[in-house]
Amino acid sequence: MTAGILARWADRLPSLGPATPRLSLGEGATPLVAAPRLAAAIAPGVDLHLKFEGQNPTGSFKDRGMVLAVAKAVEAGAHAIVCASTGNTSASAAAYAARAGLQAFVLLPKGAVALGKLAQALQHGARVLAVDGNFDVALRIVQDLAARHPIALVNSVNPHRVEGQTTAAFEIVEAWGEAPDALAIPVGNAGNISAYWLGFQRAVTAGAATRTPRMLGFQAAGSAPIVRGHPIDDPHTVATAIKIGRPASWRTAVAARDESGGAIEAVSDEQILRAWSQLARLEGVFCEPASAAGVAGVAQMHARTPFAPGTRIVCVLTGHGLKDPDRAIACAPTLAEVAADITAVERALLG
Ligand code: AN7
- Residue 183: phi, psi to the nearest 5? -125, 125
Can you state the percent helix, strand and coil of the chain, rounding each to 5?
Answer: 50, 15, 35
**Is residue 146 very low, low, confident or very high in pLDDT (cuts 50, 70, 90)?**
very high
Residue 349 has pLDDT above 80, yes or no: yes
Residue 2, pLDDT > 60, answer no
Q: Give the integer Cα–Cα distance in Å for 328 and 146.
A: 36
User: pTM value?
Assistant: 0.97
Does the pLDDT at position 35 exceed 90?
Answer: yes
pLDDT grade for 27, boundaries at 50, 70 and 90: very high
User: Which residues lie with the beta carbon below 6 Å from any ligand 1 atom?
Assistant: 60, 85-89, 156, 186-192, 241-242, 288, 290-291, 318-319
Report the alpha-carbon distance of residue 261 to residue 182 in Å, rounded. Answer: 10
Confidence of residue 249 (pLDDT cuts 50, 70, 90): very high
Question: In the chain, pLDDT over 90 holds for what percent of residues?
Answer: 99
> What value does the mean pLDDT take over residues 58-74?
98
d(CA 143, CA 152) in angstroms, rounded, equals: 10
- Give, for 216, the enclosing helix (H) or strand (E): strand 214-220
Mean pLDDT along residues 242-249: 97
pLDDT at 105: 98
Going by alpha carbons, the residue nearest to atom 10 of ligand 1 is 241
Element (H, E) at 170: helix 167-176
- Residues 6+ positions from 98 with CB-CB distance below 8 Å: 104, 124, 125
Q: What is the pLDDT of residue 94?
A: 98
Sign of the four-CA dihedral 289, 180, 10, 248: negative
- The residue nearest atom 16 of ligand 1, judged by CA position, is 86
pLDDT value at 203 more than 70: yes
